[in-house]
Structure 1
């Protein structure tokens, strides 16, 4: 399990006077992260893991299911999505809802969306979606996606909602995306975000989710969002902000000031680490390794804690 944490302002993390708990459910290791330094506390069994996360509510992130993908990197992307849904059913603490951070489909075809909805709907939970670039490449400029998931959203599909004292914001940064280019939010969405956040108290935890990361991981591959600085400036006044993304098909994490950034694995295929290949794209690995590079992300909110416990489970995890 690979995780990268880059603290550009360790003092500001310490000033938060709190510890962020991270439970890697696939290996049963509980980590406490203070000032960006992870310390392994204990090996946990399933029952202990459930106890550690009790007393709050959880929601679950899946990403990059790429229904319709059938190349060598994973010719059975439908099956691995089904395995991910099976993981959700087996969780000791059931999530309140799911979020999908984009690339539901591989080619934006209606039948691919329908297959994804049938499988993901089988989880039996409410699901909140934002599109990936592979979901808006149909000839109708993303209409196929919006017809299915655009109800009660604005513009290209952005929206917000409140649950259990947390303000959730789903952003869209894949419209008019150039091949290999950085994501873009655009002036209209940024203006909406400013208005959306105005009435929200600074003490309210914020969870933002979008497809492409809102921090620049590797600009040469378009792994970042060109105007994310403007969005993040609007989030500075909040004490706790968690940003969840997909797109890069691997776990990377960074804490910067009041913001924790976390990217998710895909349920379809892995991609290479930044700069380790000529270009991003499906990475073929030995069949026995594939499921250790695919997975889901569970996020737990404990009453009285501003930080969220982020749990990454691989399809090969126990």
Structure 2
């Protein structure tokens, strides 16, 4: 059954490399993304937009970004990109937004659609696996939330702002998560917080807000593992978010075409 409109699509951690035939952990990122996009074209055509929550590239190469842009153009919708720890934000700004990113600037966005506000935060820190929002971005977030207290809002970023129960992943989360969460806890209009980074499904509620990751389109990590471990039993997926009034209902769509893989009602 097609998703209820209006809706948008979240994908994450595509990890494309300069070489389209490259493989990592015996998996080809390009081929896995193509498979996921084929499913989306068949099951979720005509989204309002596509949200990519970081690690667009596995090596920060120009060719990987150009190829990703070309692939996502097939969904015939605006695409909003966030940087992850494997990305080159300066190159992303140039190729995806046609602008020069000033030194130490962040790729933040805010836009309104279908009665909702989307706030996209940049948690990437050059040269580090972990993330940080920073005081300037937190101030901007607070002011942006204060400007529309009655508008249902979704906040997105690359890194997980909450621990997920895997020691090695929780060592590379958002360094200033506590002050970030304080802002989010105080904003009743924030219905969902979306992220990637952890290469697995994660859904939890905190103070009435749903915190949700989407699996990678590339390769999954084993949940609750104290050290790095792949999970070949879990498949690549995308998240479809349907917007209705002040409610966001979501489903995970598996790269094998299963829909819903899991469902969540806000």
Partner SS state of residue 297, structure 1: strand
Q: Which has the higher contact order (CA 8 A, sep 6+)?
A: 1
Structure 2: distance between partners of 1:92 and 1:271: 26
Partner SS state of residue 95, structure 2: helix
Structure 2: distance between partners of 1:92 and 1:112: 25
Structure 1: distance between partners of 2:156 and 2:79: 13
CA contact (8 A) 2:145 2:187 kept: no
- Comparing 92-101 with 251-260, greater Cα deviation is found at 92-101
1:264 match: 214
1:249 match: 199
Q: Cα offset for 1:108?
A: 0.2
1:1-318 matches, within 5 Å, as 46=1, 50=2, 53-54=3-4, 56-68=5-17, 70-74=23-27, 76-92=28-44, 94-136=46-88, 142-150=89-97, 155-176=105-126, 178-179=128-129, 182-201=130-149, 203-217=150-164, 218=166, 220-221=168-169, 222-235=171-184, 236-276=186-226, 278-279=227-228, 283=230, 285=232, 289=233, 292-303=234-245, 306-318=246-258
Structure 2: distance between partners of 1:57 and 1:80: 26
Structure 2: distance between partners of 1:92 and 1:231: 33
Structure 1: distance between partners of 2:109 and 2:241: 20
Q: Deviations over 1:213-255 (max 9, x none)?
A: 1212245433531212322322323244201111111101100
Partner SS state of residue 117, structure 2: strand
Q: TM-score, normalised by structure 1?
A: 0.72
Q: Cα offset for 1:93?
A: 5.9
Structure 2: distance between partners of 1:72 and 1:107: 15
Structure 1: distance between partners of 2:83 and 2:9: 17
In structure 2, relative to structure 1, the CA distance for the partners of 1:166 and 1:264 (3 Å cut) is same
Partner SS state of residue 72, structure 2: helix
Structure 1: distance between partners of 2:168 and 2:217: 24
Q: Cα offset for 1:72?
A: 3.0
User: Which blocks of at least 5 consecutive residues in structure 2 are unaligned?
Assistant: 259-266
Q: Cα offset for 1:284?
A: 6.6
Partner SS state of residue 6, structure 2: strand
Q: Number of paired residues?
A: 248
Structure 2: distance between partners of 1:190 and 1:284: 34
Structure 2: distance between partners of 1:259 and 1:284: 28
Q: TM-score, normalised by structure 2?
A: 0.85
User: Which blocks of at least 5 consecutive residues in structure 1 are unaligned?
Assistant: 1-45, 137-141
In structure 2, relative to structure 1, the CA distance for the partners of 1:239 and 1:258 (3 Å cut) is farther
Structure 2: distance between partners of 1:173 and 1:238: 22
In structure 2, relative to structure 1, the CA distance for the partners of 1:60 and 1:206 (3 Å cut) is same
Q: Cα offset for 1:116?
A: 0.9
